[in-house]
Amino acid sequence: MFSARLRWVIVTVMAIGMAPVLAVALVCAVVVGIESPDATGSPPGGQVAGRLAVPPRWAQIEIAAASTCPGLSWSILGSLGWLASRTARLPHGHPPPWWGWDGGVFGVVVGDGRVPIDRLAAATRASSAVCAAEASGGSLTAGLVELTGGGSWALEVEVLAASLRDAPALLEVDAVAIDFAVHALGTPYAWGGNGPGTYDCSGLIVAAERSAGRTVPRTAQAQHDASRLEPPPGQPGDLAFFGGGPSDIGHVGLIIGAGLMIDAPHTGAVVRIESYGWDELVDEGALRG
Per residue of the chain (289 residues), what is the pLDDT tens digit? 445 555 545 544 444 444 444 433 333 333 333 333 333 333 333 333 579 999 998 899 999 999 999 999 999 999 988 988 788 777 655 666 666 555 454 545 444 454 556 778 878 888 998 999 999 999 999 999 998 888 999 999 999 999 999 999 999 999 999 999 999 999 999 999 999 999 999 999 999 999 999 999 999 999 998 877 766 778 899 999 989 998 999 999 999 999 999 999 999 999 999 998 887 766 655 666 5
**Threshold 0.85, pTM exceeds:** no
Q: Which of 34, 17, 15 is nearest to 227 (CA)?
A: 34
Strand duo 272-275 + 284-287: pairing: unpaired
